[in-house]
Amino acid sequence: MTNAVIAGYTRTPFQPAHKGKLVRVRPDDLATSAVKGLVERTGVNPDDIEDLILGCAFPEAEQGFNMARLVVLLSGLPITVAGTTINRFCGSSMQSIHFAAGAIQMNAGEVFICAGVESMSRVPMTGFNPMPNPVLSEEMPGAYMSMGETAENVGRKYKITRREQEEFALLSQEKAAAAETSGRLREEIVPIEVEGSNVDRDGCLRPDTTLEGLAELRLAFDESGTVTAGTSSPLTDGAAAVLVCSQEYAQAHGLTPLAKILSTAVAGCEPETMGLGPIFASRKALARAKIDAQSLDVVEINEAFATQSIASIRDLQLSPRRINQDGGAIAIGHPLGATGARITGKAAEILSREGGRYALSTQCIGGGQGIATVLESV
């Protein structure tokens, strides 16, 4: 079987939606910046790229048409490079990596750009004109439940206290601040020119976060609940891109693989507790890789909310010191369609940087799903 490897990872800065430095940047331009940076930094021959697979959670308006093909053209890639836009909500760009790995294993191409983008400033969550199915909305209202409500449901189910969530959020901020100070975050960022200014840093980080400050925040979704803005990922603008190719191609063309894609999985779960999706998807991916959670050296779990992250970590029995070593989405941000590429590229990068053998990237998905990827060192 042909092995698929991750041979590069880049992203734009992640900036707060509505008030950050990328508010005026179109999402197709954001994705173009990440893609151009990936091609330049890896040195891949653009003529060899089969397809650009682009994930986006709300592909309408400026994120509409077939944005992937438009990004191919905006990036100056050869006209022969195809493009397809896919949607699995928050798991969209991780799914793009899965599609590329599958295509490589069935000899349907050797080189793919797997990217994701979301401008939550320019296209709102749920889009501009949501129209729920009236029958499904009546019979299963959880299918359209807000993400904040699902986070509260997970917190109640697992008896996760507000203090526990705040300690988790503080640790995410501290790890991200350390990674920013050391330059580890900036190494993966492709700067963007915006109105004459160079945006080259993340804007969601809160290095001055304290437990006392978190404790003073108002509840965000339920007056009788425990979830606040400080224990949730912020609305974010950003894009990320990963180069996926066959191991043979990487070796023949002088590319440096960061990790091999060992197994993938998706799983459905109850929409009302969609945050538990990583548990079910990760179990499947680990079983397919024939390893257990204790074998993992690196874990990147998307911190949509502290409640769902804590619940997943508990049930999967993940080692806390392996998790989100450079900070997670509570600190860095969560531009929906881009996050899967970010955390999978990041898992590969940390595995290569720190050593070890196995890594897991996983995330929950609105509507009741999970997605997971297991990587192995090369």
Give the Cα separation of 47 and 342 in Å (integer): 25
Largest CA distance in the chain: 59
Catalytic residue among 56, 204, 269, 364: 364
Q: To the nearest 10°, report the CA torsion of 100, 83, 70, 370.
A: -40
Catalytic-residue membership of 90: yes
294 three-class SS:
helix
Q: Would you state the structure tokens that stand for residue 269, as one six-digit string?
A: 């779960």
Residue with tokens 């490897």: 5
* DSSP secondary structure of 30-76: HHHHHHHHHHHHH---GGG--EEEEE-SS--GGG-SSHHHHHHHHTT
For residue 62, count other CB atoms closer than 10 A to its CB: 16
Closest CA to 184 of 198, 168, 202: 202
Neighbouring-strand partners of residue 267: 370
Catalytic residue among 114, 204, 269, 334: 334
310 three-class SS:
helix
Catalytic-residue membership of 364: yes
Catalytic-residue membership of 334: yes
Catalytic residue among 90, 204, 245, 269: 90
Residue 86: alpha-carbon gap to chain centroid: 14
Report, in angstroms and rounded to the nearest whole number, the Rg of the chain calculated over CA atoms. 19
Give the Cα separation of 282 and 2 in Å (integer): 23
Q: How many CA atoms lie within 13 A of 238 on its CB side?
A: 35
Residue 200: alpha-carbon gap to chain centroid: 19
Closest CA to 347 of 182, 199, 188: 188
Q: Which residues are catalytic?
A: 90, 334, 364
